Amino acid sequence: MQATMFYGPEDIRWEHRPDPKIELPSDVVVRVTAACVCGSDLWGFRGFHPEGDPRPIGHEFVGVVEEAGAGVATVKAGDFVVAPFVISDNTCVNCRNGVQTSCLHRQNWGGLDLHGRQIDGCQGEYVRVPLADGTLVATPGQPGKELIPGLLALSDVMGTGHHAALAAGVGPGRTVAVVGDGAVGLCAVLAAVRLGAERVIACSSHADRQAVATRFGATDVVAERGDDAAAVVRDLLGDTGADCVLECVGTEASMDQAMATARPGGRIGFVGVPVGGSQVRIGPMFQRNIAVGGGVAPVRAYLDELLPEVLDGRLDPGPVFDLELPMAQVADAYRAMHERRSIKTLLWP
Amino acid sequence: MQATMFYGPEDIRWEHRPDPKIELPSDVVVRVTAACVCGSDLWGFRGFHPEGDPRPIGHEFVGVVEEAGAGVATVKAGDFVVAPFVISDNTCVNCRNGVQTSCLHRQNWGGLDLHGRQIDGCQGEYVRVPLADGTLVATPGQPGKELIPGLLALSDVMGTGHHAALAAGVGPGRTVAVVGDGAVGLCAVLAAVRLGAERVIACSSHADRQAVATRFGATDVVAERGDDAAAVVRDLLGDTGADCVLECVGTEASMDQAMATARPGGRIGFVGVPVGGSQVRIGPMFQRNIAVGGGVAPVRAYLDELLPEVLDGRLDPGPVFDLELPMAQVADAYRAMHERRSIKTLLWP
């Protein structure tokens, strides 16, 4: 098959790889219908996490089961499936607690399985899926092509935005500010609107992203940055901060902005992977009773709730994809996102 | 009157001070029935926050209203009152949000009022109370002496323990670990039991404090410290961490212990004032989805709920006081707590 390999900073290659096959009874092999590039894939591309060896890359995809191992019970050949961005058994104590990203048997796309065998990255034609019963969720039938972007978003960004909203306690009557206008931040806007927030303030200085935020139901858009943005939010909310702040970037500046945006007693839900010195400052948390929760989103936990809504059209995070490319042009997809010409790029095989 | 003054490290004096009088229509003057020493009072005593000038000290008391200003509506001369450890108007947006410690008109015992006038410390015979309507809560009648310790605990430590429990999401069926065996930690045990936790694990290596924890309903006591304590808690809970961890110390070691004790997806409620390099580490929070909330406890918010239970005997945090002294011996009270000969010392005028 053809699949994507990460060789190092700015070196992404579409190349020949071994065809995956069933290695364990709990495996399935999926033919990828659509995959995409994640903001976190860009770190390596940008040189943040230099790796010695070429490695398979990509952790978001939807597809059709090609073959199922003898021990797989919940999906079968021909099923259309959504794959969360981590592999989990969905039965251990942490999975039962709804934290599949801390599964005791967690495995990562592009990493090694529990027996040391290579797991495929997801920006490719086929993927071997370990722990298929715990990881994949099948749709009732074959979704139309128009639903693919929305379903693909459930693989990571929509579930991650939803996680930020839950961690921040979003609900009816709440005022919400979203820091970050990437695909996750935009999905966080959508999640907050879906959860009934009274006010959803998106922070974005880019017209294209502001447009998606508004389409997703943001009641206000703030174009300022940092402390200025926090001050504008406080003004909008009558000189207090937001009940709930969704931090969807992961930098020191974005976390500080989130802290300055929350009202006393407010909550920050953070899902931006902490890079570049991001920290949670205990001083303002303590003095102003700002709670901080969130982390690596257990999107598997949310599929049961979100998938039916995407299938029947009530929920459509698909517009976060503003560029579609053939997978063979995967390197262009990375560049487009790296240069912020695309919010999120969808790859068709 | 006689009252306590802080002169510097290990220099606490009981001395003559001006009799307080009504300065503003919203003031009352209270005759102190009982006061006590807080763990946070000890920082100055131990030299952590050296202050240039002598200052009045003490922020926990109960008493009887001696005289009420013309603008005071909710308490009158003769009322027995409980005073929270901060002064608040109870009407501003932050108070309405239940965060009276972030009151827009917040004032501190021993500090200056909004007009620059000295406010008394509470380890004295009389106290002028600014914003009396917002700050004080009166009991229906005159409580018996046996209720005084429990009522005094509502001034700070019981409300603070309750805040830790709420911030950590304690409720029926939850497993709880409490880090810290000071008066706040012990009240946190009591609060968790009261909120219906299934398992309440107290971490304490001191027999006297273990005894109070057990009396308050702790189901288990762990005598180990730090990572060893966290490992024992995980063993007790079947190789996972606690749903809720109540951090009631405020040091770097205690916060790290709390982080190691929480299960993936768990919550830490922290009320230990951060000193000595305490920080919230974003890495484990993110990777394991550990939420951290809490801060300066808005004990005023909890008086409506907790006070009736203390009055009718359902809730008795009084046993945190294991030493009672005449207020004139206040310096001995500080020494007893500093040397850990007393968990918490009650002072009678």
DSSP E strand stretches across chain B:
2-8, 11-16, 28-36, 55-56, 61-68, 80-83, 126-129, 137-138, 175-179, 199-203, 220-222, 242-247, 262-270, 291-294, 323-326, 345-348
Same domain, A99 and A6: yes
The whole-number pLDDT of residue A49 equals: 66
The whole-number pLDDT of residue A47 equals: 83
Question: Minimal CA–CA distance to A348: which of A37, A43, A128, A82?
Answer: A37
CB atoms B290 and A295 under 8 Å: yes
**A211: CB partners within 8 A, 6+ apart:** none
Task: Judge contact between B78 and B85, C-beta under 8 A.
Answer: no
**Out of B39-43, B206-210, B226-230, B341-345, which region has the weakest mean confidence (pLDDT)?**
B39-43
Q: Mutation test of the interface with chain A: which of B251, B289, B299, choosing the one with the most A Cβ atoms within 10 A?
A: B289
- Quote the pTM value: 0.96
Within 13 Å, how many C-alpha atoms sit on residue B131's CB side?
26
Question: Minimal CA–CA distance to A30: which of A93, A70, A83?
Answer: A83
Q: Tokens representing A132? A: 């298929």
DSSP strand pairing (A323-326 vs A55-56): unpaired
The mean predicted confidence, pLDDT, of chain A is: 96
Q: What is the mean pLDDT of residues A59-74?
A: 98
A226 shares contact with chain B (CB less than 8 Å): no
Other Cβ atoms within 10 Å of A331 Cβ, number:
16
The per-residue pLDDT for range B300-341, each reduced to its tens digit, is 999 999 999 999 999 999 999 999 999 999 999 999 999 999
Q: What is the mean pLDDT of residues A165-181?
A: 98
Per-residue pLDDT band at A52 (split at 50, 70, 90): low
A195 — alpha (psi -120 to 50), left (phi > 0) or beta? alpha
Instruction: Give the separation between CA A90 and CA A100, rounded to whole angstroms.
Output: 6
The whole-number pLDDT of residue A16 equals: 98
Residue A277 to residues A48, A80, A271, A273, B27, Cα–Cα distance (Å): 12, 40, 15, 11, 47
Residue B66 has pLDDT above 80, yes or no: yes
DSSP strand pairing (A55-56 vs B345-348): unpaired
Per-residue pLDDT band at B275 (split at 50, 70, 90): confident
Give percent of chain B with pLDDT exceeding 70: 99
Q: Is B146 exposed, middle or buried (0-12, 13-18, 19+ CB in 10 A)?
A: exposed
Same domain, A311 and A265: no
Residue A92 has pLDDT above 70, yes or no: yes
Instruction: Give the separation between CA B347 and CA B58, rounded to whole angstroms.
Output: 11
The whole-number pLDDT of residue A193 equals: 98
A114 shares contact with chain B (CB less than 8 Å): no
Residue B107 has pLDDT above 70, yes or no: yes
Same domain, A163 and A64: no
**Out of A173-177, A199-203, B82-86, B239-243, which region has the weakest mean confidence (pLDDT)?**
B239-243
Same domain, A163 and A259: yes
Residue A164 has pLDDT above 90, yes or no: yes
Task: Judge contact between B3 and B125, C-beta under 8 A.
Answer: yes
Q: Tokens representing B285? A: 């929070």
Q: What is the mean pLDDT of residues B68-74?
A: 98
Q: What is the mean pLDDT of residues A160-189?
A: 98
Same domain, A151 and A12: yes
Q: Would you say how long chain B is, in residues? A: 349
CATH number, position B343 = 3.90.180.10
Compute φ and ψ for A133, nearest 5 degrees.
-60, -40
Q: Give residue B303's Cα distance to chain centre.
A: 12
Same domain, A166 and A242: yes
Rounded to 5°, angle at Cα B68 from B63 and B73: 105
Give percent of chain A with pLDDT exceeding 70: 99
Same domain, B257 and B325: no
Q: What is the mean pLDDT of residues A122-133?
A: 98
Q: Is A6 exposed, middle or buried (0-12, 13-18, 19+ CB in 10 A)?
A: buried
Within 49-108 of A, beta carbons closer than 8 Å to B belong to: 93-94, 97-99, 101-102
Q: Chain B residue closest to A286 (CA)?
A: B295
Q: What is the 3-state secondary structure (H, E, C) of B48-86?
A: CCCCCCCEECCCCEEEEEEEECCCCCCCCCCCEEEECCC
The whole-number pLDDT of residue A43 equals: 87
The whole-number pLDDT of residue B52 equals: 64
Q: What is the mean pLDDT of residues A307-329?
A: 98
Same domain, A32 and A129: yes
The whole-number pLDDT of residue B150 equals: 98
Residue A217 has pLDDT above 90, yes or no: yes
Instruction: Give the separation between CA B347 and CA B331, rounded to whole angstroms.
Output: 11
Within 13 Å, how many C-alpha atoms sit on residue A8's CB side?
2
Instruction: Give the separation between CA B322 and CA A285, rounded to whole angstroms.
Output: 32
Same domain, B234 and B319: no
Q: Write the single-letter amino acid at A331.
A: A
Structural element, H or E, at residue B94: helix B93-96
Q: Where are the alpha helices (DSSP H) in A119-251?
A: 132-135, 148-153, 157-167, 183-194, 207-215, 226-236
The whole-number pLDDT of residue A26 equals: 98
For B98, which of A98, A265, A293 is closest by C-beta distance?
A265
Same domain, A306 and A286: no
**B126: CB partners within 8 A, 6+ apart:** B1, B3, B19, B20, B29, B30, B31, B32, B66, B120
The whole-number pLDDT of residue A13 equals: 97
Other Cβ atoms within 10 Å of B348 Cβ, number:
15
Residue A61 has pLDDT above 80, yes or no: yes
Compute φ and ψ for B188, nearest 5 degrees.
-65, -40
CB atoms B270 and A278 under 8 Å: no
Residue of higher predicted confidence among A335 and A46: A335
For B296, which of A167, A289, A292 is closest by C-beta distance?
A289
Q: What is the mean pLDDT of residues A120-130?
A: 98
Q: Chain A residue closest to B289 (CA)?
A: A295
The per-residue pLDDT for range A230-242, each reduced to its tens digit, is 999 999 998 899 9
Residue A48 has pLDDT above 90, yes or no: no
Q: Give residue A88's Cα distance to chain centre.
A: 16
Q: Write the single-letter amino acid at B325.
A: L
The per-residue pLDDT for range B126-168, each reduced to its tens digit, is 999 999 999 999 999 999 999 999 999 999 999 999 999 999 9
Measure the CA dihedral A13/A325/A183/A42, to 10°.
10
DSSP string, B267-317: EEEE-S---TT--B-HHHHHHHT-EEEE-S--HHHHHHHHHHHHHTTS---
Task: Judge contact between B184 and B268, C-beta under 8 A.
Answer: no
Among B251, B272, B294, residue at a domain's last position: B294
Among B294, B316, B332, residue at a domain's last position: B294
CB atoms B238 and A93 under 8 Å: yes
The whole-number pLDDT of residue A178 equals: 98
Q: Chain B residue closest to A255 (CA)?
A: B282
DSSP A239: S
The whole-number pLDDT of residue A275 equals: 79
Q: Give residue A129's Cα distance to chain centre.
A: 19
CATH number, position B184 = 3.40.50.720
Q: Chain A residue closest to B167 (CA)?
A: A291
Compute φ and ψ for B30, nearest 5 degrees.
-115, 135
Q: Tokens representing B91? A: 């009407």
**Out of A14-23, A177-186, A232-241, B272-281, which region has the weakest mean confidence (pLDDT)?**
B272-281
Measure the CA dihedral B29/B31/B34/B35, to 10°.
40
**Out of A275-279, B12-16, B293-297, which region has the weakest mean confidence (pLDDT)?**
A275-279
The domain total for chain A is 2
Residue of higher predicted confidence among A345 and A277: A345
A219 shares contact with chain B (CB less than 8 Å): no
Query: Which residue's structure tokens are 């008391």?
Result: B61
Same domain, B133 and B232: no
Give the range of the structural domain holding residue A278, as residue numbers without chain letter.
158-294
ipTM over 0.90: yes
CB contacts < 8 A, A to B, total 125
Residue A51 has pLDDT above 70, yes or no: no
A288 shares contact with chain B (CB less than 8 Å): yes
The whole-number pLDDT of residue A272 equals: 87
Q: What is the mean pLDDT of residues A301-306?
A: 98
CB atoms A291 and B167 under 8 Å: yes
DSSP string, A312-343: TTS---GGG--EEEEGGGHHHHHHHHHTTS-S
Rounded to 5°, angle at Cα A297 from A292 and A300: 145
Per-residue pLDDT band at B49 (split at 50, 70, 90): low
Same domain, A238 and A334: no
Give percent of chain B with pLDDT exceeding 90: 93
Instruction: Give the separation between CA B58 and CA B123, rounded to whole angstroms.
Output: 5
CB atoms B264 and A94 under 8 Å: yes
